[in-house]
Amino acid sequence: MYTSNELGVLNNYATEPQMYYAVYPSPEQQRRYALIGAIATLFVTSLVLITLAVS
């Protein structure tokens, strides 16, 4: 979608996506998010501990 002025200069506009409301995650999704967060925390903690042990 674009418009042009009297000099022929184009103004390009991005197409706007359809708006929608977010849906609250189900209890199963919440448990999955908590599990992924715990695994990520353990991974980062182990990387920090390994880095400290090597240095």
Contacts of 23 (CB under 8 A, 6+ apart): none
Per-residue model confidence as pLDDT tens digits over 4-55? 777 777 777 777 889 999 999 999 999 999 999 999 999 999 999 999 999 8
Q: Is the pTM of this model over 0.85?
A: no
Element spanning 47, H or E: helix 27-54
Contacts of 25 (CB under 8 A, 6+ apart): 33
Per-residue model confidence as pLDDT tens digits over 22-31? 999 999 999 9
